[in-house]
């Protein structure tokens, strides 16, 4: 990880164009870290909930999810270009961790039905193949992207710091968009591989694709942010 950050800095300084390519490669490298693990079953769950057997449909559903993640990261690139390195302080403070803890507890509780809030994407009567269904997938991607920011922040923070020095909004947006698409490449591949998913044992297939499993993941993410919050205030 230290070598990755050091090389990123060297590339950004030597060539802005290569810096954009480095952001995409950094996203791919970071996607092999444990931070990606919660998003894989969520992606499989989304494709399974849509009940699609078409690779094309699975591809677009997966891309919609990744674009939701990309929007969050691209927005960070724009904000960092405008406000500089202050964006880093926003994501490493107890208030942000508490907010994310509450957000994911409510989402998880709603999916597990002990909190009565209707989330369209997880409703049993929801049409996942409609345009609104894709919008819900996109929004879920945004929420998931928000959840993994603290985990990815060592690399993400370094990129934000580098683009903040350039103070170029277009460049900052492009750098973070490419980083997020590199990060989401593995999710698109997994989500599109419907034939691979179908080869899983039936029990494992149902376990991965069930909404309840996604609800448990959100509760675990909530606990993670609660621990981070307590660690900072104690």
Output the tens digit of pLDDT for each of the chain's 234 residues: 556 666 777 777 778 888 888 889 888 988 887 777 767 767 766 665 555 557 788 888 889 999 999 999 999 888 888 776 556 566 667 887 888 888 888 878 877 777 776 655 555 444 545 555 678 788 888 888 887 777 777 788 778 877 877 778 898 899 999 999 999 998 888 888 755 555 545 444 444 455 677 778 888 888 988 988 888 887
Range of the domain at 19: 2-233
- 130 is written with which tokens? 């409609």
Tell me whether residue 153 is exposed, middle or buried, using C-beta atoms within 10 angstroms of its C-beta: 0 to 12, 13 to 18, 19 or more. Answer: middle
Integer Cα distance of 214 and 113 in angstroms: 12
Number of domains in the chain: 1
Span between the terminal Cα atoms of the chain, in Å: 28
Residues 142 and 69: beta-carbon distance below 8 Å: yes
pTM of the model: 0.72
Integer Cα distance of 49 and 122 in angstroms: 8
DSSP state of 168: -
């Amino acid at each position: 990880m230290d070598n990755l950050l050091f090389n990123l800095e060297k590339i950004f300084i030597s060539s802005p164009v290569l810096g954009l390519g480095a952001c995409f490669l950094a996203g791919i490298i970071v996607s092999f870290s444990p931070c990606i693990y919660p998003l894989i079953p969520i992606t499989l769950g989304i494709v399974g909930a849509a009940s699609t057997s078409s690779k094309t449909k699975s591809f677009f559903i997966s891309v919609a999810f990744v674009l939701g993640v990309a929007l969050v990261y691209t927005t960070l690139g724009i904000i960092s270009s405008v406000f500089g390195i202050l964006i880093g302080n926003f994501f490493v403070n107890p208030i942000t961790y508490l907010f994310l803890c509450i957000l994911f507890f409510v989402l998880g509780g709603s999916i597990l039905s002990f909190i009565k809030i209707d989330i369209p994407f997880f409703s049993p009567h929801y049409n996942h193949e409609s345009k609104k269904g894709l919008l819900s997938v996109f929004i879920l991607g945004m929420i998931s992207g928000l959840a993994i920011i603290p985990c990815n922040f060592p690399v993400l923070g370094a990129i934000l710091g580098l683009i903040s020095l350039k103070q170029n909004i277009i460049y900052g947006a492009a750098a973070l968009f490419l980083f997020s698409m590199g990060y989401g490449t593995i999710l698109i591949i997994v989500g599109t591989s419907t034939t691979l998913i179908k080869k899983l044992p039936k029990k494992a297939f149902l376990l991965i694709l069930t909404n309840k499993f996604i609800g448990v993941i959100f509760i675990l993410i909530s606990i993670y942010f609660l621990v981070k919050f307590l660690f900072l205030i104690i």
